[in-house]
Amino acid sequence: MFKVREIENLFSPFAEKEKVEVVDVCYTKENGDWILKIFIDKENGVNMDDCERLSKIFSKILDENDILDNSYILEVSSPGLNRILKKESHFKKFVRSNARIQTFNPINNQKNFLGEILEVLNGSIKLNDVTNGQVEIRINNIKKANVEELL
């Protein structure tokens, strides 16, 4: 977890210069290989050229800073349709969208929520949960959140 934050903090200034946001960083072992996934986004969405350009920049930064102990595969991509929501700015961008949220601590005996993001204010979101109606969730209590399309 510490490595992920360190990598995100290292990449963010370079991404900002390219008018891109580092949305999320994942460093996991898959089928015996270490995979470093960097999810980027920008106002009108990212394309393959953005991913390729940032991949070269991030690769150079990783080589210069020697952060990772293991050999790894670097993947740079858009966050996709079910993009992760981590920061208050992410939630604000997706007001009126549906989200699936898991909390660290229960709210009214519930830790899993699904519904429309109604409002984002002062570190909290108001969600119209499909199970229990309106609920206020502190962003620092969110373990995981993704944009979710309801069927």
Give 32-77 pLDDT, tens digit per residue: 999 999 999 998 889 999 999 999 999 999 999 988 888 999 999 9
> What per-residue confidence (pLDDT) applies to 81?
86
| Contact yes or no for 82/146 (Cβ under 8 A) | yes
How many other CB atoms are there within 10 angstroms of residue 100's CB atom? 17
CA distances from 102 to 25, 78, 106, 119 (A): 19, 22, 9, 18
Looking at the chain, the whole-number percentage of residues with pLDDT higher than 70 is: 97
Query: What angle in degrees, to the nearest 10, is found between the helix axes of 2-17 and 48-65?
Result: 120
| Contact yes or no for 39/83 (Cβ under 8 A) | yes
- The structural domains of the chain, ordered by start, are 2-77 (3.30.300.70), 88-147 (2.30.30.100)
Angle at 47 between CA 96 and CA 89, to 5 degrees: 35
> What per-residue confidence (pLDDT) applies to 151?
57
Using the predicted structure, report yes or no on whether residue 139 has a pLDDT greater than 90.
yes
